[in-house]
Amino acid sequence: MIELHAPERIVSMINPGCDFPESGPAYAGRHLRLSFHDIDMAEDGLVEPSAGHIDDLLTFLADWERTAGILIHCHGGVSRSTAVAFMAACLHNSSADEREIALALRCASPVARPNRALVRMADEVLGRSGRMIAAIEDTAHGLPEITAEENEPFTLPAVY
Arithmetic mean of pLDDT, 25-50: 95
What pLDDT is stored for residue 34 in this prediction?
A: 98
**Sign of the CA dihedral running 39, 109, 130, 53:** positive
- Using a cut of 0.75, tell me whether the model's pTM lies above it: yes
pLDDT band at 148 (very low <50, low <70, confident <90, very high): low
* Superfamily classification of domain 2-138: Protein tyrosine phosphatase superfamily (3.90.190.10)
User: Between 110 and 146, whose confidence is greater?
Assistant: 110
CA 138 to chain CA centroid, nearest Å: 18
Half-sphere exposure of 3 (CA within 13 A, CB side): 1
The full set of domain ranges for the chain reads 2-138
Average pLDDT, the chain: 94
**For residue 21, what are the contacts with CB-CB under 8 A and spacing of at least 6?**
12
What pLDDT is stored for residue 150 in this prediction?
A: 73
Max distance between CA atoms of the chain, in angstroms, equals 44
Give the model confidence (pLDDT) of 77-123 as tens digits.
999 999 999 999 999 999 999 999 999 999 999 999 999 999 999 99
Give the model confidence (pLDDT) of 50-61 as tens digits.
999 999 999 999
Q: What is the CA radius of gyration of the chain?
A: 15
d(CA 46, CA 66): 34
